[in-house]
Amino acid sequence: MRSPSGILTLLCFSSALLFLVPLLASAHPFGYHDEGNPENPWDRFYNLSGCHRGDDRPGLADVKRYLHRFGYLPDLPSNFSGDFDDALEAALLAYQRNFHLNASGALDSSTVDLMVQPRCGVADVEVNGTATARGRGLYSYFSGRPTWPRSNNHLTYTFTSTSGIAASSSAIRAVFARAFSRWSAVTTLTFSEAAIPLMADITIGFYGGDHGDGEPFDGVLGTLAHAFSPPDGRFHLDAAENWVAEGDVAAAESLSAVDLESVAVHEIGHLLGLGHSTVPEAIMYPTIRAGTRKVDLSQDDVDGIQSLYGTNPSFTGLAMSPGSSTSPTNTMRERETNGGSAAPAGWAPAIARLVVAVGASLLVW
């Protein structure tokens, strides 16, 4: 016969297991590093959460470089200091107001969470500190509101570099054909792959690191791609990303998987003259989490592009396509709850086996 103290011990042990299992499932074991899922280069910003004016931390120099890159911090010497000075506070206030966050001027948790998300390399604000021109909605244009000439409403594109990308050439071409079609469906523009590559209006290539345009890539996650305003036509993607061109990105093995079509639709908006939107549901919103698919134009995107090129006579309104999602996958939710980390593959089954074994022993005892 079990003693009352023994029963109490078992109850306490079982309760502890129920509490610890979800914690273990959502964290790496000490010293664990998954080489197949490298971290976002901006994840270190989490260590600076809570910093405010007057603090002095070495990592704040990287925050200043980030805010300078995306247009919030005016031109300063390249050797940024770790001081949380007035300039950094002003830059954070501008960033927070642009994305409708709490304007604290500090590195609060909501600000850091947005800053670490993978994003487009195009600046949100003109580098000289002048605000990007806003339309009637929350969409924006490049300075001067550049567009393709009205006389050229059929644009051609070609691929300049796809080496090192795991996806097949046919899969990549299919992705971009769909991405361009999403914009042609709502405007007077049409697109096709160029029969003569040298005559193409738009050039698309995957490149790594410094690739000669003054906007170097930073490896896995971080900046994913960038495109230049019309009529430049250059569209560059980071070759280091784990691009998913076929299948469900949410089911990808890598935690850093990025949906190619989602990024392509966004960057084509830049090629046509749109800047970034502050509507989170918009294609032209600058960030997208890994493991997420987001390919459908929002009303803000449609209003912005139609203000530049007019409306496709056949367009009758927006309709969401099946399989599109702007919500983080379960894997990404796990990462969000513990500072960007997710349980490595194999941990959940191991924990489940432990629970079953303990439960069985309790029944037998």
Cβ count within 10 A of residue 173: 16
Contact of 45 with 116, CB cutoff 8 Å: yes
Cα separation, 30 vs 23, in Å, equals: 13
Residue of 60, 114, 113, 108 lying closest to 87 (CA atoms): 60
Q: Identify the residue whose tokens are 């639709």.
A: 265
CB 63 within 8 A of CB 43: no
Binding annotation for Zn(2+): 120, 211, 213, 226, 236, 266, 270, 276, 284
Residue 246 appears among annotated catalytic residues: no
CA distances from residue 227 to 130, 224, 271, 293, 299 in whole angstroms, order as listed: 20, 11, 6, 20, 22
Give the whole-angstrom CA distance, residue 10 versus residue 258.
Answer: 45
User: Which residues lie across from 257 on neighbouring strands?
Assistant: 242
Residues forming the annotated binding site?
120, 201, 211, 213, 218-219, 226, 236, 238, 241, 266, 270, 276, 284
Q: How far is CA 145 from the centre of its chain?
A: 25
Which of these is catalytic: 215, 261, 267, 334? 267
- Angle at which helices 169-184 and 260-271 cross, to 10°: 50
Residue numbers in the known binding site for Ca(2+) are 201, 218-219, 238, 241
Residues whose CB is less than 8 angstroms from the CB of residue 343 and which lie 6 or more positions away in sequence, other chains included: 24, 25, 26, 27, 28, 334
Report d(CA 358, CA 190) in Å as an integer: 63
**Cα 60 from Cα 67, distance rounded (Å):** 11
65-72 long-range Cβ contacts below 8 angstroms, 24+ apart = 66/42, 66/115, 67/91, 67/92, 67/95, 69/121, 69/123, 70/95, 70/123, 70/124, 70/125, 70/286, 71/123, 71/124, 71/125, 71/126, 71/127, 71/129, 71/132, 72/98, 72/124, 72/125
Distance of CA 187 to the CA centre of its chain: 26
CA distances from 310 to 147, 154, 178, 318 (A): 12, 14, 20, 16
* Residues tagged active-site: 267
